[in-house]
């Protein structure tokens, strides 16, 4: 049996595997041909030791080499665009075009290039200088590697080997230990091959980026506690996220987790009256994007009872019923959906449409709408606030504004919340009542826009209060914000110029880097009077 | 029995106490007259419910009222300067003058005023705007109260009611639930009385700041998991810190902990040759400042064997032996010191001077120097890397540069590390070898300066890698940095102008607030072309 090699210490080499696995084609349910290793502790130990060795060398490699790597990596991914998109489609059941070749792959290379630009520009490190006291500080690397564990649903843009967490953690100067998602190992391998070539060409130390395809949960948790690891970046389910969080925090490591979110959408009555048809179409498109397998899927819609609301619901049902079910990433997702829906129905929700898996081959589920009355929802909000990962949304019907406010109060932390309101202000009073409640519960607040579509911009906030993530102060998308998750603050007290990093010396190292000097942001150098 | 009231929901009222306690005069060992309550869960529950109620109201109170409170509070503390300094001295055994009246009290009011200025100036929230995509974000309150638990050693500047954590958490717009340190309840009460008056005058909602003197550990941990609490700010011992960290993180809350630090000081041979006498004096003064009860106490000094080093050690011993032992904050500290020293001696350290408690009345311990050879230290570095809180330092003697590097590698995360080097460059090669190792292990790196003395400046880094703190990316001293610990990032996507907070509207709300707009820091308003 030919088993695919892992990438450790700058070498592709055979794994000391415990077992092997294959990816599955979600369109047919058939196994794909390649065998990938499930690594044992020996592989992990070796990777961890290499990572530990490389920490100080990478930290002192300087931003130019890291930026050069990120740019070269982006270029090599583009050169392999066709094969990467094809394999990603094969392993996920999502369309090669436009999804991968025109959307997710360009997003991925754009992220890498944005990270490179930010690293080269240097302002991200927030150099802060008190010239009178000669005290200086800036953000720098953590002093350990970052274990990146990517999700199932974005095999490129959130891939442990090429996605946002990897780019951010490396940008701060930390080595990366990537764990592939077992649903798309071949895609990850292609990305790792590009990374390996870029690593060599950019002369970053071997071991700066390493890849293991799979390991046992207990070995993963053990790895987190190893001295080589400073932080974990994880995107995935709440149950796995919480296990990682516990292991990391117990060992004094940082855990950045994106776990689950139902992304409440408040459709206020004026908006429904004014443009119900258009909103129904928007909601439908957003909810079925990527076949509903998005972290920002609008899975929880709050409506006020009324004639127009009933018409709106009918429209949505028609759209959902008429849509062609896409493929799910895995059979497990199909099973989880059926269970989640069953639990909601048992607890008093009604099924409006869908609710059943489709016959094979492949993994499909009928697009599903559920409805629950506010008075049934309110006594047991936990039951209904569950992420049902896939083409499913729960409509929650408030009988009056007071009940809608209670529903808002009942919500957990989420990545996003959206409000749709009347364009001429008919919903303003209700908006002003609900917004202060919701503002403190979510990362990104949208107006008249569905939550899917997370732009990569410095102003993006993709994160939110627990349990959506583990820390509400950070964004996992957008530079420089996402880099700060993987950075330590380094202070210098009375350190002479020649021993300071260039970012903290009197002379502005680029001539245009932004620094916070004596309480003002400036691009100027410090000149002695 | 007259039991002092707690401050809950804007009212001074009797506690439903489980028991009472008294502070002790460390100079005599005698109990002080006032009885303070050890609150039961009922007190805590009431405080938590009030805090939860006040969260949205305080979040929307606006920066002006918060800044006004902080300034008024500082003024009222100054008006009560004499009595506060007197009581602080009585409860801690530290001198009223200069320590409290001339140093710590002015530092405390300065911190409050710096926080006020930062709140009013608004740049702290890092308003970030992408004008093309109309996506905006800034830091804002957490959506829950902050439980602040202050340490024993700074009854004013780190007091849960008036110190850095309290100022930072309130500056971000979060309610405060303060727990006094049981060694200085009366000092805390005086501060709380000033806070209560300032709260009323500044029209912040009652319950924005509350005080409980003491509670059982299990009730404290239970409170952390209550929905009202979003974060904990703690300064104290490692064992208590780790218990708080575990409880907080398990419940999805943030924990900012300053736990323990030995603050390694590397005295390189050129520096010792050049100015050994002056350095001995600096070390002695720093080590006995506050009778050694400082988080930045130089508790671990690394030296290279040699004739001058031996002379340096002899000088230090003379200084320590000749010094007049001060009072310790508590009897427990005396007991812990004796135990820590005994463990070091058992493990192979030598006693150079001191090492014994003094006879009563009061709590005193002879200033102590220990010495351990590198070859004894290296096989069991954990034993010797223990914070001995008090007038004690451990000298670690490396036999050569290689051994000194190994000692550096063995170190855990610390708040600070200092290097003393020859002024004309004789130690440069060794510095350049050691610095990259140490840089990643500490928050603040000092050159030719002892670690005590933590200036309140935006450039300060008072924090560091685990186990010195729980997160190396944050500073607990200095504004705006310390505020960011207690802030969530709030994103706005397509939200119209009138619904945005002033900091994110097109018009710069102050005319001079710094904002990060389209990748540049600017004080300008956004103008539409």
In a domain, B362, yes or no: yes
User: What confidence tier does B529 reach under pLDDT thresholds 50, 70, 90?
Assistant: low
Instruction: Please tell me the predicted confidence (pLDDT) of residue A529.
Output: 64
- Write out chain A residues lying below 8 Å of B54, CB-based: none
Which whole number is the average pLDDT over A251-255?
97
Q: 3-class DSSP state for residue B239?
A: helix
CA distances to A133, A401, A433, B437, B475 from A408, rounded to whole Å, are: 49, 10, 10, 50, 34
- pLDDT tens for A394-447 read 999 999 999 999 999 999 999 999 999 999 999 999 999 999 999 999 999 999
- Name the residue among B453, B452, B443, B446 with its Cα closest to residue B476: B443
Of A142, A461, A485, the CB nearest to B137: A461
B46, B71, B104, B258: which one is catalytic?
A: B258
Q: 3-class DSSP state for residue B351?
A: strand
- Write out chain B residues lying below 8 Å of A123, CB-based: 521
CA distances to B80, B86, B107 from B83, rounded to whole Å, are: 6, 5, 17
Closest Cα in chain A, distance from residue B488 (Å): 4
Structure tokens at A109: 């290379």
User: Is the Cβ–Cβ distance between B230 and B256 less than 8 Å?
Assistant: no
Pick left, alpha or beta for residue A459 (phi over 0 → left; psi -120 to 50 → alpha; otherwise beta).
alpha
Task: Based on the fold, state whether residues B275 and B375 are members of the same structural domain.
Answer: yes
In a domain, B37, yes or no: no
For chain A, give the number of residues: 529
Task: Based on the fold, state whether residues A297 and A367 are members of the same structural domain.
Answer: yes
For residues A388 and A384, what is the distance between their CA atoms, to the nearest angstrom? Answer: 10
In a domain, A3, yes or no: no
Instruction: Please tell me the predicted confidence (pLDDT) of residue B260.
Output: 87
**Contact between A458 and B516 using a beta-carbon 8 Å cutoff:** yes
Task: Based on the fold, state whether residues A127 and A114 are members of the same structural domain.
Answer: yes
**Contact between A245 and B249 using a beta-carbon 8 Å cutoff:** yes
- pLDDT tens for B269-327 read 999 999 999 999 999 999 999 999 999 999 999 999 999 999 999 999 999 999 999 99
Test mutation, B123, B143, B169, B473, chain A, max A CBs within 10 A: B473
Instruction: Please tell me the predicted confidence (pLDDT) of residue B360.
Output: 86
Residue of A nearest to B56 (CA): A436
Helix (H), strand (E) at residue B395: strand B392-398
- Write out chain A residues lying below 8 Å of B495, CB-based: 445-447
Helix (H), strand (E) at residue B320: helix B307-322
Residue of B nearest to A129 (CA): B459
Instruction: Please tell me the predicted confidence (pLDDT) of residue A523.
Output: 98
- pLDDT tens for A273-295 read 999 999 999 999 999 999 999 99
Task: Based on the fold, state whether residues A315 and A252 are members of the same structural domain.
Answer: no
Task: Based on the fold, state whether residues B60 and B81 are members of the same structural domain.
Answer: yes
Closest Cα in chain B, distance from residue A18 (Å): 32
Of B249, B440, B444, the CB nearest to A143: B440
For residues B35 and B43, what is the distance between their CA atoms, to the nearest angstrom? Answer: 17
In a domain, A250, yes or no: yes
User: What confidence tier does A149 reach under pLDDT thresholds 50, 70, 90?
Assistant: very high
Task: Based on the fold, state whether residues A398 and A290 are members of the same structural domain.
Answer: yes
Closest Cα in chain B, distance from residue A521 (Å): 7
**Helices A105-121 and A81-92, axial angle in degrees (round to 10):** 120
Residue of B nearest to A449 (CA): B494
Test mutation, B57, B228, B459, B497, chain A, max A CBs within 10 A: B459
Average predicted confidence (pLDDT) for chain A: 97
- Write out chain B residues lying below 8 Å of A436, CB-based: 56, 59-60
User: Is the Cβ–Cβ distance between A506 and A528 less than 8 Å?
Assistant: yes
Task: Based on the fold, state whether residues B280 and B254 are members of the same structural domain.
Answer: no
Strands A488-493 and B442-447, sheet pairing: parallel
Average predicted confidence (pLDDT) for chain B: 97
Q: Residue A437: which CATH number? A: 3.40.309.10
User: Is the Cβ–Cβ distance between A198 and A167 less than 8 Å?
Assistant: no
Q: 3-class DSSP state for residue B70?
A: helix
Residue whose pair of structure tokens reads 């960290």 in the numeric block: B245
**Contact between A447 and B496 using a beta-carbon 8 Å cutoff:** yes
User: Is the Cβ–Cβ distance between B513 and B123 less than 8 Å?
Assistant: yes
In a domain, A477, yes or no: yes
Residue of B nearest to A439 (CA): B490
Of A136, A252, A441, the CB nearest to B143: A441
- pLDDT tens for B347-392 read 999 999 999 999 989 999 999 999 999 999 999 999 999 999 999 9
According to DSSP, residue B228 is labeled T
- Write out chain B residues lying below 8 Å of A457, CB-based: 130, 133, 135
Note if A344 is an active site residue.
no
- pLDDT tens for B89-114 read 999 999 999 999 999 999 999 999 99
Phi, psi of B229 (to 5 degrees): -95, 130
* DSSP code string of A422-466: -TTSTTHHHHHHHHHHHHTTEEEEEESS-S-----STT-----ST
**Contact between A473 and B466 using a beta-carbon 8 Å cutoff:** no
Strands B350-353 and B368-373, sheet pairing: antiparallel
**Contact between A143 and B441 using a beta-carbon 8 Å cutoff:** yes
- Name the residue among B435, B443, B438 with its Cα closest to residue B471: B443
Instruction: Please tell me the predicted confidence (pLDDT) of residue B475.
Output: 98
Residue of B nearest to A415 (CA): B491
Structure tokens at A276: 């119900």
Residue A44 has pLDDT above 80, yes or no: yes
* DSSP code string of B401-438: HHHHHHHHHH---EEEEEEE--TTSTTHHHHHHHHHHH
**Contact between B521 and A514 using a beta-carbon 8 Å cutoff:** yes
Q: 3-class DSSP state for residue A395?
A: strand
**Contact between A489 and B481 using a beta-carbon 8 Å cutoff:** yes
**Contact between B473 and A488 using a beta-carbon 8 Å cutoff:** yes
Instruction: Please tell me the predicted confidence (pLDDT) of residue A207.
Output: 97
- pLDDT tens for B399-453 read 999 999 999 999 999 999 999 999 999 999 999 999 999 999 999 999 999 999 9
- Name the residue among B37, B148, B166, B36 with its Cα closest to residue B91: B36
Residue of B nearest to A488 (CA): B473
Residue A510 has pLDDT above 80, yes or no: yes
Closest Cα in chain A, distance from residue B230 (Å): 9
Residue A528 has pLDDT above 90, yes or no: no
- pLDDT tens for A130-143 read 999 999 999 999 99
Residue B352: give the domain boundaries.
Answer: 264-447
Q: Number of folded domains in chain B? A: 2
Test mutation, A437, A472, A482, A512, chain B, max B CBs within 10 A: A472
- Residues forming a β-bridge with A364: A327
- Name the residue among A173, A176, A136, A137 with its Cα closest to residue A60: A173
Of A142, A475, A495, the CB nearest to B447: A495
Of A140, A254, A461, the CB nearest to B471: A254
Residue of B nearest to A142 (CA): B440
Note if B295 is an active site residue.
yes
Q: 3-class DSSP state for residue B281?
A: helix
In a domain, B38, yes or no: no
Task: Based on the fold, state whether residues A229 and A299 are members of the same structural domain.
Answer: no
B125, B295, B316, B344: which one is catalytic?
A: B295
- Name the residue among B163, B185, B139 with its Cα closest to residue B36: B185
Task: Based on the fold, state whether residues A168 and A281 are members of the same structural domain.
Answer: no
**Contact between B136 and A448 using a beta-carbon 8 Å cutoff:** no
Task: Classify burial at B509, counting beta carbons within 10 Å of its beta carbon; exposed 0-12, middle 13-18, buried 19 or more.
Answer: middle
Closest Cα in chain B, distance from residue A111 (Å): 15
Q: Residue B128: which CATH number? A: 3.40.605.10
User: What confidence tier does B398 reach under pLDDT thresholds 50, 70, 90?
Assistant: very high
User: What confidence tier does A353 reach under pLDDT thresholds 50, 70, 90?
Assistant: very high
**Contact between B250 and A246 using a beta-carbon 8 Å cutoff:** yes
Closest Cα in chain A, distance from residue B72 (Å): 23
**Contact between A519 and B443 using a beta-carbon 8 Å cutoff:** no
**Contact between B455 and A488 using a beta-carbon 8 Å cutoff:** no
Task: Based on the fold, state whether residues B404 and B270 are members of the same structural domain.
Answer: yes
**Contact between A141 and B492 using a beta-carbon 8 Å cutoff:** no
Instruction: Please tell me the predicted confidence (pLDDT) of residue B512.
Output: 97
CA distances to A315, B109, B149, B168 from B180, rounded to whole Å, are: 59, 18, 7, 17
In a domain, B271, yes or no: yes
A295, A316, A344, A503: which one is catalytic?
A: A295
The strands making up B442-447's β-sheet, listed across from edge to edge, are A520-522, A515-517, A128-130, A135-140, A488-493, B442-447, B414-420, B264-267, B300-304, B392-398, B368-373, B350-353
Q: Is the peptide bond before B480 cis (omega within 30 degrees of 0)?
A: yes
Which whole number is the average pLDDT over B333-339?
97
User: What confidence tier does B8 reach under pLDDT thresholds 50, 70, 90?
Assistant: very high
Q: What pTM, to 2 d.p., does this model score?
A: 0.97
Phi, psi of B80 (to 5 degrees): -100, 20
User: Is the Cβ–Cβ distance between A429 and A84 less than 8 Å?
Assistant: no
For residues A166 and A112, what is the distance between their CA atoms, to the nearest angstrom? Answer: 9
Contacts of B23 (CB under 8 A, 6+ apart): B31, B32, B34, B36, B91, B182, B183, B184, B185, B186
Helix (H), strand (E) at residue B210: strand B209-212
* Buried-exposed string B464-480: b where 16+ CB fall within 10 A, e elsewhere: bbbbbbbbbbbbbbbbb
Residue A260 has pLDDT above 90, yes or no: no
In a domain, A406, yes or no: yes
CA distances to A48, A408, B90, B337 from B25, rounded to whole Å, are: 52, 52, 6, 19
Task: Based on the fold, state whether residues A443 and A474 are members of the same structural domain.
Answer: no
- Residues forming a β-bridge with A397: A303, A373
Residue of A nearest to B454 (CA): A493
- Write out chain A residues lying below 8 Å of B260, CB-based: none
Task: Based on the fold, state whether residues A228 and A128 are members of the same structural domain.
Answer: yes
**Contact between A137 and B460 using a beta-carbon 8 Å cutoff:** yes
């Amino acid at each position: 049996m030919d088993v695919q090699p892992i990438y450790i210490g700058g070498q592709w080499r055979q794994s000391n595997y415990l077992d092997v696995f294959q990816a599955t084609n979600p369109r047919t349910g058939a196994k794909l041909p390649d065998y990938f290793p499930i690594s044992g502790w020996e592989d992990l130990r070796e990777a961890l030791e290499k990572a530990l060795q490389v920490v100080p060398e990478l930290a002192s490699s300087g931003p130019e080499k890291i930026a050069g790597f990120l740019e070269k990596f982006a270029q090599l991914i583009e050169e392999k665009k066709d094969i990467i998109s094809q394999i990603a489609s094969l392993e996920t059941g999502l369309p090669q075009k436009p999804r991968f070749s025109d959307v997710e792959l360009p997003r991925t290379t754009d992220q890498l290039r944005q990270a490179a630009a930010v690293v080269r520009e240097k302002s991200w490190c927030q150099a802060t200088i008190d010239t009178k006291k000669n005290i200086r500080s800036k953000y720098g690397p953590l002093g350990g590697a970052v274990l990146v564990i990517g999700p199932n649903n974005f095999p490129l843009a959130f891939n442990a080997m090429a996605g946002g967490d990897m780019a951010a953690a490396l940008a701060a100067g930390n080595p990366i230990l990537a764990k592939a998602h077992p649903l798309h190992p071949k895609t990850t391998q292609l990305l790792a091959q590009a990374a390996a070539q870029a690593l060599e060409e950019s002369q970053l130390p071997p071991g700066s980026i390493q890849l293991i395809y799979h390991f046992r949960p207990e070995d993963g948790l053990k790895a987190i506690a190893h001295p080589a690891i400073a932080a974990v970046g994880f995107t995935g389910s709440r149950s796995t996220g919480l296990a990682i969080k516990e292991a990391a925090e117990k060992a004094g490591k940082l855990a950045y987790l994106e776990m689950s979110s139902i992304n409440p959408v408040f459709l206020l009555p004026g908006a429904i009256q004014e443009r119900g048809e258009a909103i129904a179409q928007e909601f439908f498109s957003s909810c079925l994007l990527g076949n509903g397998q998005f972290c920002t899927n609008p899975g929880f819609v709050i409506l006020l009872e009324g004639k127009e609301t009933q018409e709106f619901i009918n429209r949505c049902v028609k759209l959902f019923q008429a849509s062609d079910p896409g493929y799910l990433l895995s059979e497990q997702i199909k099973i989880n959906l059926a269970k989640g829906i069953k639990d909601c129905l048992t607890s008093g929700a009604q099924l409006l449409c869908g609710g059943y898996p489709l016959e094979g081959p492949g993994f499909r589920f009928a697009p599903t709408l559920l409805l629950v009355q506010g008075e049934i929802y309110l006594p047991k909000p936990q039951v209904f606030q569950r992420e049902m990962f896939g083409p499913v949304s729960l409509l929650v019907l408030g009988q009056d504004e007071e009940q809608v406010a209670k529903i808002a109060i009942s919500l957990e932390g989420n990545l996003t919340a959206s409000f749709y309101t009347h364009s001429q202000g008919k919903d303003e009073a209700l908006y002003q009542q609900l917004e202060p409640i919701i503002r403190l519960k979510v990362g990104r607040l949208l107006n008249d826009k569905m939550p899917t579509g997370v732009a990569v911009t410095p102003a993006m906030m993709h994160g939110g209060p627990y349990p959506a993530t583990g820390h509400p102060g950070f964004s996992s998308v957008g530079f420089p914000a996402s880099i700060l998750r993987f950075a330590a603050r380094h202070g210098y007290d009375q350190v002479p110029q020649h021993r300071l990093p260039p970012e903290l010396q009197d002379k502005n190292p680029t001539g245009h880097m932004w620094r916070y000097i004596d309480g003002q942001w400036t691009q100027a150098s410090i000149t002695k009077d």
